[in-house]
Structure 1
Amino acid sequence: MFPQILFQTHLVLGYVAWLLCFGAYIWPRLKTMDHFDAQRAIATLHSFRFFGLVFMLPGVVGPNLPASFAAPAAYWDFTTGVLAMLALLSVRIRPLFWLFVVAFNLVGFVDLLFNYYHAVQVDLPAKAGELGAVYAIPILIVPLLMITHVAAFYFLLRRQPNATQAFGGGVTA
């Protein structure tokens, strides 16, 4: 099988597997949570995105991985991870927490979109072997990150029902 087809098949199946898992186990739990707690859980996952710096680590990735792909992917991931950590560190200051939640989700979402664009521009599927050990990131981790960004935006755009509406059948006291 050609590397391009294998890489694209892995990527699609990564989304399928994560959507099945997310729909069965993660989404039902997130929906029962207060929006603040759901965003904290999502920020906790994204706080590990500092790991994206590995895209620039010689010996982990191949020497022919295009720098025009690797460097932006690494730095945008790092920035997203730091913003997610800042959100977690600011949980006691709610306006600051929400600012960092919006920031890490915008930066992280744009990062993933740009990575897809850059991957097409440099024909990354044909050079997938140059990813080395990092091959697992776009296949196993990126789909979950994208799905959780979409969930985070859903919670940011959807009003949190107050306790009276949630438990009183919509009748206010």
Structure 2
Amino acid sequence: MSTALIFQLHLVLGYVPWLLCFGAYIWPRLKSMDQVEAQRAIATLHSFRFFGLVFIVPGVVGPNLPAAFATFAAYGDFATGLLAILALLSVRTRPLFWLFIIGFNVAGTVDLIVDYYHGNQLDLPALAGQLGATYAIPIIYVPLLMITHIAAFYLLVRPQPVAVRSLTSDAAAS
């Protein structure tokens, strides 16, 4: 089996266990939580995306990893991680919190989609060995990130039950 085929299988199959885990354990909990707390949980996961800067660390990735992929992936993750951290820090200032929640989800989703696009354009599957120690990021971490971005957007647009809206507005008034 070729390296490219193995990498592509890993990319696709990386979503399967996360979707099973998410559906069984994470999604039911997120749906039952207050909207702010659910978004904070998702932002906490994404706050570790500063780690994406590792894509531009020589010796961690191979010298032939395309810079067009590595640079955008690194800085896209870094920006997303910073926005998620800012969301967590601004939770008491709700308008700012929601701005950062939307910002990190939009930035993070665009980052992942563009990374997939760049990876395809640059034939990253054939160069998968150049990912070096970062190989696990697109296989294990990225599927969970994409799934949680989709969940965050869903939670942002779904109507809240009347009881939750009432409790939220009462808490905001205090």
TM-score, with length taken from structure 2: 0.93
**Pairing 1:13-162 to 2, within 5 Å after superposition:** 13-162=13-162
SS, match of residue 41 in structure 2? helix
**Cα displacement (A) at 1:31:** 0.8
Given that 2:56 and 2:70 are in contact with CA atoms closer than 8 Å, whether structure 1 keeps it comes out as: yes
SS, match of residue 135 in structure 2? helix
Q: Give the letter aligned to residue 66 of structure 1.
A: P
Q: After TM superposition, which residue ranges in structure 1, 4 or more long, deviate above 4 angstroms?
A: none
SS, match of residue 58 in structure 1? coil
Distance in structure 1 (CA, Å) of the matches to 2:19 and 2:62: 30
Distance in structure 2 (CA, Å) of the matches to 1:118 and 1:27: 30
Given that 1:34 and 1:160 are in contact with CA atoms closer than 8 Å, whether structure 2 keeps it comes out as: no
In structure 2, relative to structure 1, the CA distance for the partners of 1:114 and 1:88 (3 Å cut) is same
SS, match of residue 14 in structure 2? helix
Q: In angstroms, what is the RMSD of aligned CA positions?
A: 1.2
Identity across matched positions, percent: 72
TM-score, with length taken from structure 1: 0.94
SS, match of residue 144 in structure 2? helix
Distance in structure 1 (CA, Å) of the matches to 2:133 and 2:159: 41
Paired positions, count: 166
Given that 2:76 and 2:111 are in contact with CA atoms closer than 8 Å, whether structure 1 keeps it comes out as: yes
Given that 1:49 and 1:80 are in contact with CA atoms closer than 8 Å, whether structure 2 keeps it comes out as: yes
Gaps of 5+ in 1: 167-173
Q: Give the letter aligned to residue 112 of structure 2.
A: L
Distance in structure 2 (CA, Å) of the matches to 1:70 and 1:36: 33
**Cα displacement (A) at 1:159:** 1.7
Residue 171 of structure 1: aligned partner: none
Given that 2:84 and 2:104 are in contact with CA atoms closer than 8 Å, whether structure 1 keeps it comes out as: yes
**Cα displacement (A) at 1:162:** 2.5
